[in-house]
Amino acid sequence: MYGEMFFLLLLLYNSEEKPERIDCPEYCVCDLFENLRRATCQYKKLYSIEINVPSRVQILDLSHNHISELGMNVFLELKLSELKLLNLSSNKINQIHLYGFEGLDKLKSLDLSFNIVQYFNEQWFMSLKSLEELYLRGNNLQSINSEPKINMKHLKILDISSSKIENLQSGVFAYIPNLEFLDISNNFLVHLDSDVISSLPKLKTFIAEGNSFYCEEAAIENLKNYTIANGITYRDSCRVIDTTNEKIEKFQRMVSLDNSIPGKNEWIYDDDSDTQTENSIVQQCPEGRLEATEEVIKTTLIKIITFYPSVILVSIFMSGLVIGTVFGCSCHCERKKVYSSDEHGRYLTPKNHAFRPRARSAGNKNMDGGDRNFLLMHEMRLSDSTPVLSRKSII
């Protein structure tokens, strides 16, 4: 019976979907984050992105390394077409080929913050058709106006803060009409006209603090009035203006992954079109050991409890029944070994315990438990077999 039950449980386990195995580089950690396959390779002193990352990875974090350039079709050759988030911040990138990001059609977030990028070319972003977030904080973008304008129709967040920008011409953001968040803080700007953001009809948050504006200048006053009239949350070094969207901004800050940018990486939680529900990911270590993620364990337990409760209950009941039967039989057999009976059904002396009467002076204190019990039973048998004269007959 128990063999059949074990075989049944084995079949049920084998019928479940097995977690997918991936080969993860020894200097990376591969796991599952919000149903997205992620590889984290931070602080590993890497000089190139050619590190044999699994091709199905959707989030790749290569921040805080020594990567200095992105070659031609490098992501296309590595077959990383499934990438949705690419973090290359805090590296030493100063050269990007015109086709450096080729093949990243599904990429939604690109972080190039704190590198040595001195310009950006329109050709870089031609293949990034789904890009919604671009972070260029902490670079050297003084020549932003002399290069082609940023042309990304789906872009919603742009961060070019702390990039040594001295001037922004009117219409520099004309080709990103869906932009909702713009950060130009901590640059070297002195003048800023409202025409810089007038081509952004969906702009909700505009951060310009940390610049050297002439606060009494008419252009700065016109810019503030423009943000008020269009319900844009605006901050600069002159004065903080509270708009109708202040409460919305605070709420966005609470739900975003990075509190400094409202709405950052919200697409991770909102994107239901590519939700991975069929398989989970298991990291395969270089030594060959497989470590299941917490999601695999939770999913397995939930499936077992949900679909096979009767099997679990029957197993527990049968185990308890077997233990109880074994315990009862052992107690009964032990009792039979201690005492035996004669042909008349009366209990006799234990086979391994001879009756040794004690001296009267010793009393009951020197009598062990076995002798005392035997003496009581012996006295009962004597009273049954020996006639006792009544007091009346003696008289």
CATH number of 18-307: 3.80.10.10
Give the per-residue pLDDT at 355.
Answer: 46
Q: Comparing C-alpha atoms, which of 87, 85, 89 is closest to residue 106?
A: 85
- In this predicted model, which residue has the larger pLDDT, 238 or 290? 238
With a cut of 70, say whether residue 361 has pLDDT above it: no
74-80 average pLDDT score: 94
**Each residue of 177-196: pLDDT tens digit?**
999 999 999 999 999 999 99
**Each residue of 307-345: pLDDT tens digit?**
556 667 777 878 888 888 877 777 666 555 545 555 555
pTM for the model stands at 0.62
pLDDT interval class at 385 (50, 70, 90): very low
Kindly report the average pLDDT of the chain as a whole number.
75
Q: So where are the chain's domains? A: 18-307, 341-385
CB 68, CB 45: distance < 8 Å: no
275-300 average pLDDT score: 47
With a cut of 80, say whether residue 350 has pLDDT above it: no
Give the per-residue pLDDT at 120.
Answer: 77
DSSP H or E segment with residue 321:
helix 309-338
With a cut of 80, say whether residue 9 has pLDDT above it: no
